[in-house]
């Protein structure tokens, strides 16, 4: 399942050399076209490393021949996009700035709002993130009403949401994730992962913000308003996490080659972990009970038999990690069991943990000894699904 980020890099191809005959005729003698076509082929094969190299070569050739004219701005955006997809945000800044500057001077037909979104994403580094924050805050309200920019709007809003969450600027992060949800839902082609990711992050940000509010309100007993608001935030977060589970559920129970963790499994497990943490935190803080919500999705299988009910023997139990005491009141870990046709666990591993470090290590120390068995209430002649998930909650009182 491709991310919107990689898809948008492919979509930008239509900006360059729109005439097929031009590309065919000039490829042997035109290095720009030759490198561009190699870049295009690498993207199609999912080889972003080669795509970056060829995008850089195409841009260099265009600068040598046309300076800031011709297709230089578009080729610069292509290079910035590939580097962003590779997680090299700082390296994406120079070509993103080049494209933005060219478009701002009127020397390119490339969409100015598009270049502003790409530049804003590239600016979200430790050195420049406040510039990126302000740029994206200005650009995203315009971009969210542009159907042709849904994919890049999602990328920009998601990047901004993650950065503001890390900076504990929760109100801005929630606003960014609301835009990301709308963009993912409106984008053509489904994009289940993006829809689930945006909902999980939006819920996680609201939960984290509410946890901060609850801590402050309980430190000041006379102020009950923050605690009351947190109940509503927790309810909204729970609803979003159930939606994320429903979106990713049909993909998360498919076994990949070997025992690797798929993108769908990771996204599904993240939603599970945050939801379990939400309930655990509510319990430790004595907050209002959440409504009963059960995820509802159908697993993709041609086997008409009902699924077997499983019982997880999580022994020995993990202990609350000493390093986390005093810093976290609760934690959640999701374990994935891979089963064979007889229901025997052939692989057991941690696939999500919040907070990650201490709680993941606590479960990993004992998870190899855990087992699965068929529950006595399972219907006769039931089937064993290839994947099962078990969630562990840590409560520190």
Per the domain annotation, does 355 fall within a domain?
yes
Cβ count within 10 A of residue 245 = 24
Per the domain annotation, does 370 fall within a domain?
yes
Cis before 97 (ω within 30): no
The string of DSSP letters for 64-122 reads HHHTTSTTHHHHHHHHHHHHHHTT-HHHHHHHHHHHHHHHHTT---S-HHHHHHHHHHH
**119 is written with which tokens?**
């530049």
Q: What is the CATH number of the domain that holds 360?
A: 3.30.2420.10
Which is higher by pLDDT, 295 or 183?
183
Q: Residue 61 has what pLDDT?
A: 97
Cis before 241 (ω within 30): no
Per the domain annotation, does 196 fall within a domain?
no
Per the domain annotation, does 64 fall within a domain?
yes
Per the domain annotation, does 347 fall within a domain?
yes
DSSP-assigned letter for residue 393: E
pLDDT tens sequence across 240-288? 999 999 999 999 999 888 889 999 999 999 999 999 999 887 777 666 6
Confidence at 3, pLDDT banded by 50, 70, 90:
very low
Confidence at 231, pLDDT banded by 50, 70, 90:
confident
Q: Is it the case that residue 225 has pLDDT exceeding 80? A: no
Q: Residue 210 has what pLDDT?
A: 83
Same-domain check for residues 9 and 144: yes
Q: Is it the case that residue 230 has pLDDT exceeding 80? A: no
Cβ count within 10 A of residue 162 = 18
Window from 2-11, 82-91, 162-171, 291-300 with minimum mean pLDDT: 2-11
Q: Residue 217 has what pLDDT?
A: 66
Instruction: State how far the Cα of 121 lies from the Cα of 143, in Å rounded to an integer.
Output: 14
According to DSSP, the β-strands at 330-339 and 345-354 are: antiparallel
- CA atoms within a 13 Å half-sphere pointing along the CA-CB vector of 14: 5
Give which of 81, 83, 46, 78 is closest to 60, Cα–Cα.
78
Q: Is it the case that residue 98 has pLDDT exceeding 50? A: yes
Q: What is the CATH number of the domain that holds 39?
A: 1.25.40.10
Q: Tokens 């891979």 identify what position?
A: 338
Please give the share of the chain, as a percent, with pLDDT higher than 90: 67
Per the domain annotation, does 197 fall within a domain?
no
Q: Residue 117 has what pLDDT?
A: 98
Tell if the pTM clears 0.75, that is, is over it. Answer: yes
Number of structural domains in the chain? 2
Instruction: State how far the Cα of 268 lies from the Cα of 275, in Å rounded to an integer.
Output: 11
Give which of 241, 137, 144, 240 is closest to 183, Cα–Cα.
144
Q: Is it the case that residue 26 has pLDDT exceeding 80? A: no
Mean pLDDT of the chain: 87
Q: Which of 143, 166, 188 is the last residue of a domain?
A: 188
The string of DSSP letters for 5-68 reads HHHHHHHGGGGS---HHHHHHHTTT-HHHHHHHHHHHHHHTT-HHHHHHHHHHHHHHHHHHHTT
Host H or E run for residue 354 = strand 345-354
Same-domain check for residues 184 and 311: no
Q: Which of 133, 165, 188 is the last residue of a domain?
A: 188
Confidence at 8, pLDDT banded by 50, 70, 90:
very low
DSSP-assigned letter for residue 383: B
**Domain of 177, in residue numbers:** 1-188
């Amino acid at each position: 399942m491709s991310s919107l980020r990689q898809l948008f890099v492919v979509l930008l191809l239509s900006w360059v050399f729109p005439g097929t005959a031009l590309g065919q005729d000039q490829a042997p003698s035109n290095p720009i076209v030759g490198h561009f076509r190699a870049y295009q082929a690498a993207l199609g094969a999912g080889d972003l490393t080669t795509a970056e190299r060829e995008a850089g070569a195409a841009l260099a050739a265009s600068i040598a021949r046309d300076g800031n004219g011709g297709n230089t701005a578009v080729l610069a955006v292509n290079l910035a996009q590939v580097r962003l997809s590779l997680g090299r945000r700082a390296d994406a800044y120079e070509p993103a700035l080049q494209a933005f500057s060219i478009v701002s001077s009127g020397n390119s037909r490339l969409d100015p709002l598009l270049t502003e979104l790409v530049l804003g994403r590239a600016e979200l580094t430790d050195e420049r993130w406040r510039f990126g924050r302000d740029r994206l805050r200005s650009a995203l309200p315009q971009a969210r009403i542009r159907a042709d920019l849904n994919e890049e709007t999602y990328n920009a809003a998601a990047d901004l949401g993650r950065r503001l969450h890390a900076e504990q600027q929760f109100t801005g992060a929630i606003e960014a994730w609301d835009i990301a949800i709308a963009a993912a839902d409106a984008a053509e082609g489904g994009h289940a992962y993006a829809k689930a990711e945006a909902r999980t992050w939006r819920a996680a940000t609201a939960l984290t913000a509410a946890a901060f509010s609850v801590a402050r309100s309980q430190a000041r007993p006379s102020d009950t308003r923050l605690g009351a608001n947190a109940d509503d935030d927790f309810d909204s977060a729970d609803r979003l996490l159930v939606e994320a589970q429903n979106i990713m559920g049909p993909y998360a129970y498919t076994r990949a080659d070997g025992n690797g963790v798929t993108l769908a499994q990771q996204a599904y497990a993240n939603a599970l972990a945050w939801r379990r943490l939400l309930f655990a935190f509510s319990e430790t803080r004595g907050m209002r009970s959440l409504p009963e919500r059960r995820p509802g999705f159908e697993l993709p299988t041609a086997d008409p038999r009902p699924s077997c009910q499983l019982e997880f023997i999580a022994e020995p139990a993990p202990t609350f990690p000493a390093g986390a005491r005093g810093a976290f009141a609760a934690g959640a870990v999701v374990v994935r069991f891979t089963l064979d046709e007889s229901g025997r666990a052939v692989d057991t591993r941690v696939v999500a943990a919040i907070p990650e470090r201490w709680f993941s290590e606590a479960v990993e120390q004992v998870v190899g000894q855990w087992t699965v068995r068929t529950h006595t209430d399972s219907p006769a002649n039931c089937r064993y699904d290839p994947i099962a998930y078990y969630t562990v909650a840590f409560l520190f009182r």
